[in-house]
Structures are given as structure tokens and as C-alpha cells.
Amino acid sequence: MKTKIQLPENFDLEERVAAARANFRSGYNCCQSVILAYNDIFGLDANLAATLTSGFGGGMGRLREVCGSVSGMFFLAGLISPAADPTIKSDRTENYALIQEFADKFRQQNGSIVCRELLGLAPKRESPEPSDRTPEYYKKRPCEEYIAMSARIAGEKILEYAKS
């Protein structure tokens, strides 16, 4: 089941992508950065959105598994094409198809959806302590670019659903 999406009159995809980048620059994790660029469209309180997605940074709690920005797209897929009722198999199928589409698009551009692979990190467990957000951190991490890609991929789908 597709959600009927009502976009604000002044909706601008590139502004949403820029907002996702700015969210990351202000300290939000990758997943939060993507979600907070679109939460208003779905009537989701910003604090609740940030809270629900707080554990998905660093590839899920710095486990370096699925990229947080990709998790953000997946979270949005649940709002775009919800599958809340477990007895409606067609809704779940549509939701999973959208998630796979998002993953495929991201993977085509980046080769992977896995945080450690995207960052070229060894498969070892890291400290749960988030990295300090210093100018050096932003220079060496490509995360902002991944966030922009994820925000654009999700935003393009939001636009498509809003027009249908």
C-alpha cells in the first residue's frame, strides 16, 4: 500500500539533500540526517524521529554493518510504502521491493551498502564511543556524500509517489 504523500508547495529535492548534509554537519548520525530531512512530510515529530533512529549511526551502533544513511532510506521506505499489518502480504512485498530498490541504487553508485566496506575499515569491533566531530573527522569521512546520495534516492521516490 502506497502512502498518499502531500508535499509542501515549496518542496525542493536539492534543499532536502542539503538539509541532510547540514544535519550530519550539526552532529546527527547518518541515519538521523536522512530521516530529519523528510520527517515533516510524514508528520513525524523531529525529536521522535531522531530518537527512533539514534542507534543506527556507525552502521548500527558502530558495528559498521549496514550504512546508517541506507538504514535511513529503509526507515523512509516504511513511511512511503507501509507494511504495518502483518496479515497483508502484498504490503510487505511492496515494502521489501522498495527497500531492495533503494539498496540496489545505492550499491550501484558505491559498490556496497555496508559501512565498513564503504569506509575501508577492517572487520573488527570498534568502541561504542562515537568519534569526535572535528574538522579532521569531516575531511577523512565520506559519510556526508553517502548521506546526500541516500537523501536524493529517497527524495526521488517520495516525489514519484507524491505525483502518483
Whole-number Å distance between alpha carbons of 150 and 115: 13
Strand partners, 114: 66
How is the chain split into domains, by residue range? Answer: 13-163
User: Cα(73)–Cα(30) distance, rounded to whole angstroms?
Assistant: 10
The packing angle between helices 143-163 and 68-80, to 10°, is 10
The residue among 21, 122, 161, 38 whose CA lies nearest residue 53 is 38
Q: What is the pTM of this model?
A: 0.93
Closest of 12, 31, 21 to residue 148, by C-alpha: 21
- For residue 2, name the pLDDT band (cuts at 50, 70, 90): low
Arithmetic mean of pLDDT over the chain: 93
